[in-house]
Amino acid sequence: NLCAGQTLQMQTFDQTGMATAFDWYFDNGSGPVLIATTTLPMYSMDNFAEANEGFYSVVMRIDGCASNPSNQINVTVADISNEAPTISTLDNVLCVGESFILTSTVVPGTGILYDWYFDDGSGPQKVATTSQNIWLFSNLQVQNSGVYTVVANDGGCISQVSNALQIIVTDILNQTPQLSIANNGLCEGETVELNVAPLSGGADKYEWYFDDGTGAQLIATTDVPTLFIPDVAPADEGIYTVVASMGGCVSQSSNAINLVIDNILDQTPILSVEQDVLCVGETIELNSTPITGNAVSYAWYFDDGNGWTLIGTTNIPTFFIQNAGLNHTGIYSVTASDGSCQSLPSNARDIVVTDVLDQTPTLTVNNDKPCVGDLLELTASVISGGNVTYEWFFDDGTGNVVSTTTNIPTLFIVDVGLSASGVYSVVAHRGGCTSPFSNLVDVFVTDALSLNPVLTASQTQVCVGEFIHLTTDPVPGAGTTYTWLFDDGSGVAILGTTNNPGYVISDVTPAQSGAYSVIVKQGGCVSPPSNSVEVEVTAQMNETPVLTLDPPEACVGGSFTLISSTISGNNVVYEWYFDDGTGAQLLTTTTTPSLTIDNVTVNHKGTYWVLARRGDCVSNMSNGKKLEVFGMDSFEATNPTTADMPACVGDIVQLKVPVVPGASYEWVGPNGFSATTSTALLPDVTPADAGDYYAIVQVLDCSYTSAPTTVFVSEEMVANDDAFNLEANQTVFGMEVFANDVMGNVNDLTVSILTQPAHGLVEVSNGTLAYTPNANYFGVDEFVYEICSMECPDNCSEATVRLTIAGNNSSECFVPNIITPNGDGKNEQFVIPCLESGFANNRLKIFNRWGDEVFQAEPYRNDWNGTFKGKDLPAGTYFYLLWLDKTGNDCLSGYFTITR
């Protein structure tokens, strides 16, 4: 019984092992019909359908013979794949411990099974199989909550999945709801909020009960776990409970909540102040946190140490006391009321009203040692608050006096003079408050700069015609000038004055050798002279270039770079010299301190130098650097084999390149050959090792590949069997038995006869063979020869030469007296040569020594190899009868031996 669309696979068993065909038949009630023929004992049909229902059988054939039909197999189709059962139940919400019955619509068919599945969210799992369309599940637990489905099964054929049925199992009857109140202790008119904590598995109905002392009464039913009681009154005071249910399952009664109505607001205001320390005349600002509700008012209280006094009431959470005096120092608080409930008092806040500022200004100055004529800037730290004024004081040693008053925290004194030296301070005023005195700032006005300038020169040794660049550190401040001085030994002279800290002397001469210095002026202040810098103007550089090579050795075809140390100054020219042993020669000049030479040859081997020129100045010659050049002619690969003298199989071949100190080697050859020494060995060579080998030689940064060296290996010779036909008493000279032999690359060889012919003589002369049969002999003769390489004597091969000597009449028909059917391919059959040349209508019988016939053939084709019924006959003597013409009476008889 198959499902529609499945594959029908049939097979039979061929007991003979000789069947050539299998005929497969189908009978739907109207008689067997051939549907297929196979060469294997099996047959399959894909997409099996109702039209294929019926009886199947098979007939086996051997050549033209057919067997009886096999047994019949009745194959039917079950197709419920389009059926979709529907399941239902009486109640899909159940209590723990209850049972439920799932009922499926009936799926037509015989022997239908119903597979019931459950999915708790982790995937459908089969939980039961019934032969009826109902399933009873007892003693339900919470973990049985989930989705249930059913699939009909007809012998492995599956229907569609049914509708999904959600089943909820609750243990609410074992749970006690936890009831809470959001705001117990309320004022009249507010709203009560009762809440139930979440229950395991949830609930779909909540019944709310109230007990005012006369017994619990149901007051409300909700489908959410919250109950609101608006506009509460004293009559709502009492005990509240709740019962939850899911379907027909009811929980325990909750804990009891005792609702109390009082007239105290559940909100307490928090008091904050804009400032807790104020000056006389300022405004006090008190702020309360806003209280929710309707018509809320705020009562403000003050305690100066004699008890709380109501000082005002507002409808907003803010209270102002303007033009505060010292008598407003004390403690403040606030309460809130919504008409029916009054809050508790807020926190208390201390406020101090004073005539002394709580901030002390800090005084700074832009320069406490200004020069005459500078700007003096005095700055006080900013005092918070509005309408602040600053009173400035000065004491030159005769007493502290008020200098001036400003509305900003800065005092400017322009074009300061020596009389401005003294001590400065400041106080701040805000309303009726005055700050303490600031710190004291001592200012000293002078007409001398306090700095010592430092002079530097771009070069202290300068070539004639170059320039001298003098610099000093810049001095901040307006109107700064720099006066440059020179002393050639005859006294200090002024070179010039600049507004920037640099001075350039161009196209210098030896007369400008000497000492240089600078002084700085700023306003009325003058610095002392700077340090003195000696500069020499000369025609000889004081720098000698240092030469390096990169790399220190070069490869033929590569490149190298000559690198000089950098010579200071501008317009420096570098002259490059080379000596190959015949004397130093100028190569070229560059404006950069390096020279790269490409396409190196061995002619670049030698010593290199460099010198530098800057204007008319010339440096000394640098150090010399010697360059080594490596070329490819140093690396030739060799091996001892040649085409005329190849290596023999198993020999050791040595590969060589010259040894170079410091070099690395990498050999490459056939079959993945590799080695890393200058001399490499090929041990136990075979013809597969023949071919080209080369070495890659790495010397420093130079890499060279040698020309290949060819390794020759003697190839294996293969001698192949030969066959010749000749007449009786005929001698064959110069037999070309080597024509079909494989010589490989062997040039010189030797020939020898391993086995002489039984019925003749073979001779070797100058590498050729000559065969002479015995007098009047005809039939088959053979001999074995061997060829060997003269260079590799172990490289040998042997072959058999078969000679067929024809006779003139039947009396000359030769019958062999021995055969050796041992599987070596030689003398395997009982061969009578004359049968192949004129006696095709022959007849042969062979008997054992007891007269039993073991073989007969008409005609005999020289193909018997000493067997009887497919099995080898034992070694021994056998007898034959041979009719060259089976229609005549002329019969040859004799015996022969089978040897294994």
- For residues 387 and 378, the answer to whether their CB atoms sit within 8 Å is no
- Among the listed ranges 255-264, 329-338, 454-463, which one has the minimum average pLDDT value? 255-264
Nearest residue to 302 (alpha-carbon basis) of 339, 269, 335: 335
Class of domain 173-259: mainly beta
Class of domain 815-900: mainly beta
What's the per-residue H, E or C state across 605-623? CEEEEEEEEECCEECCCCC
Amino acid at 363: L
Say how far apart CA 279 and CA 358 lie, in whole Å.
9
Q: Which two tokens stand for residue 502?
A: 């640099």
Residue 127 is predicted with a pLDDT of 95
Residue 812 is predicted with a pLDDT of 58
Q: What is 271-354's CATH number?
A: 2.60.40.10
Q: What's the fold here for domain 455-538?
A: Immunoglobulin-like (2.60.40)
- Among the listed ranges 221-225, 320-324, 507-511, 793-797, which one has the minimum average pLDDT value? 507-511
689 pLDDT above the threshold of 60: yes
How far apart, in Å, are the Cα atoms of 154 and each of 1, 125, 151, 362?
Answer: 9, 19, 10, 101
Task: Select the highest-mean-pLDDT range: 375-379, 600-604, 807-811.
Answer: 375-379
How far apart, in Å, are the Cα atoms of 648 and each of 638, 651, 674, 751, 796?
Answer: 18, 5, 21, 19, 12
Say how far apart CA 589 and CA 614 lie, in whole Å.
13
Q: What's the fold here for domain 547-630?
A: Immunoglobulin-like (2.60.40)
Residue 869 is predicted with a pLDDT of 92
Strand-pair partners of 709: 693
Residue 811 is predicted with a pLDDT of 53
837 pLDDT above the threshold of 70: no
Phi, psi of 732, deg, nearest 5? -105, 120
The domains spanning 547-630 and 815-900 adopt the same CATH topology:
yes
Taking the CB of residue 531, how many other CB atoms lie within 10 A of it? 14
Indicate the length of the chain as a whole number. Answer: 900
Which tens digits make up the pLDDT trace of 626-684?
998 876 555 789 999 998 899 999 999 999 998 877 789 999 999 999 999 999 999 99
Domain ranges of the chain: 2-78, 92-170, 173-259, 271-354, 363-443, 455-538, 547-630, 632-711, 815-900
Q: What is the mean pLDDT of residues 292-318?
A: 93
Torsion of CA 149, 154, 157, 162, to 10 degrees: -20
| Banded pLDDT at 103 (limits 50, 70, 90) | very high
Say how far apart CA 852 and CA 874 lie, in whole Å.
14
Residue 808 is predicted with a pLDDT of 55
Say how far apart CA 149 and CA 157 lie, in whole Å.
17
For 363-443, the fitting CATH number among 3.30.70.20, 3.40.50.720, 3.20.20.140, 2.60.40.10 is 2.60.40.10
The H-assigned helical ranges of 797-844 are: none
Tokens 């009559």 locate to 235
Which residues, other chains included, contact 462 with Cβ-Cβ below 8 Å and sequence gap of 6+? 468, 508, 535, 536, 537, 538
Q: What is the mean pLDDT of residues 181-210?
A: 87
Residue 110 is predicted with a pLDDT of 82
Q: What is 2-78's CATH number?
A: 2.60.40.10
DSSP-derived letter for residue 305 is: S
Q: What is the mean pLDDT of residues 254-269?
A: 85
Residue percentage of the chain with pLDDT more than 70: 97
809 pLDDT above the threshold of 60: no
How far apart, in Å, are the Cα atoms of 686 and each of 716, 788, 840?
Answer: 9, 17, 51
Residue 617 is predicted with a pLDDT of 84
- What is 632-711's CATH superfamily? Immunoglobulins (2.60.40.10)
**Mean pLDDT for the chain?**
90
DSSP E strand boundaries for 232-296: 238-246, 249-250, 257-259, 271-273, 277-279, 284-288
- What is 92-170's CATH superfamily? Immunoglobulins (2.60.40.10)
